[in-house]
Amino acid sequence: MYNVFMKLKRILEIIVVVLCMIYLSYVLVSRVSKVPYKEDEISWYFHTKFFDEAFINKSLFSPLWQGYESFDHPPVSKYIYGAYLYFQNRNYAQERNVLESKYGRWNFYYVIKSDEAIATTEFAPIISDLRKINFVFAVFILVEVYILFYMISRSSLFSLLLCAVLSINSLFIYSVAIITSDNQVIFFSLLAIILYFMSLKSKKWVLLVGAAIATALALGSKLTGIFILCTVTFNEILCFLYARLSYEKFVKRIGIFIFVSCFVWVIINPALYFAPVINTVRYFEFRSFQSANLAHFFPNIALHTPFVRIEAIVCTVLVPCNNRFTSGAISSNILVNILLLTFGLFYCVQEVRKKRSDIIFLVLFVYFICFVYTINLFNYSKIYYNLLQISIFIIQVLGGLFVVKFIERKYVFTRRNE
């Protein structure tokens, strides 16, 4: 009888979770659809030419792959947006070429800013159409966040709470709404983390290989995907040093992960076929050069010192007020944010001392993100901090879970003494 009751309870819990996730997905999508258009989104419409070049023309060695647009961003997001338009059976390539010849490759920035009527009639329908695929990614990201936090906390209630916080957070909504590579890098990064956590508890090598493929796709969407590769590498080293992995297993795991990640990264990117190592370095050099160049031409919003960069991180992720970095990323009270983050970090320190691999991974991940952000010279946009925002939310909700468990222990202990 008890087993039947527990099964019914589990089924009811699953039904409640599914219904809550459907509602939160609806809330998220309804808010995402209201985000204003940005001129940078049009550039991603023109980037869909890389899908044509790779999958329709099958021209993997054309000069286009060695040009400026190719190294502006890795190609996975360009493939996804191009594939979406292609399978709609529209003559999108001809439409794109007409608009590009009409306004020039880069003049659409100034067209949108100077002539709102043209922007509305010519570009707004295109942006609106491409954003539909972002709605799908937004829902999947929400599901991934639930799964990831449940794997860490084993609490359905707090996993739903985290999803609820994300679904109404302006920074997250903005990140998943606009047409950039941020949706894809968040999706593949979370998928890589979930599969990697599963591989830590399982002997199935396919999970580690899946995590490596997802890491390569995250890196192929945006260069910030390198965070996953670095974090997994250091986490494996720590697992070996803590004697949780034998030398043979450590070498095999780290070898498989790095090899598969690098192999897939090269395969999906024709720009690397001529010189994989040199052109990979060129990607990062290009972004560094662009950051320094923008900092030179726009000194009023440049991040010249490490202290200003730390200020940008704090103002974007924690401070709920208007400032020169963001217009209110979080609507809740700043004191609550800081307290929850403090409790969450205290919880993480406790679990790290117990050598919990998933918590060690989370701490390392936040460290690598913050380290890279503190050497950045230019504040591109608040979406730049999206992965850090999700990580901070996870730590804050862990802080809330820590407080609840502490109160429960205190209450139970007091009741027993009475």
Residue 28 pLDDT level (bands cut at 50, 70, 90)? confident
Q: Do the Cβ atoms of 195 and 50 come closer than 8 Å? A: no
- What was the pLDDT predicted at 272? 92
Structure-token pair, residue 287: 């972004």
Mean pLDDT of 70-99: 79
Question: Over the stretch 191-231, which tens digit does the pLDDT of each residue have?
Answer: 999 999 999 888 788 999 999 999 999 999 988 888 888 88
| C-alpha dist (Å) from residue 220 to 73, 261, 268, 280, 284 | 8, 10, 7, 11, 12
What predicted TM-score, i.e. pTM, was given to this entire model? 0.86
- What was the pLDDT predicted at 21? 78
Give the count of domains, the chain.
Answer: 1
Number of Cβ atoms within 10 Å of the Cβ of 74 = 29
220: burial class by Cβ within 10 Å (0-12, 13-18, 19+)? Answer: buried
Q: Do the Cβ atoms of 214 and 188 come closer than 8 Å? A: yes
Instruction: Specify the higher pLDDT residue, 386 or 417.
Output: 386
Question: Over the stretch 370-389, which tens digit does the pLDDT of each residue have?
Answer: 776 666 655 555 556 777 77
Question: Over the stretch 118-134, which tens digit does the pLDDT of each residue have?
Answer: 555 666 777 778 888 88
Range of the domain at 364: 2-417
- What was the pLDDT predicted at 187? 92
416: burial class by Cβ within 10 Å (0-12, 13-18, 19+)? Answer: exposed
Q: What are the φ and ψ backbone dihedral angles of 323, each rounded to 5 degrees? A: -150, -175
- Between CA 349 and CA 202 the distance in angstroms is 25
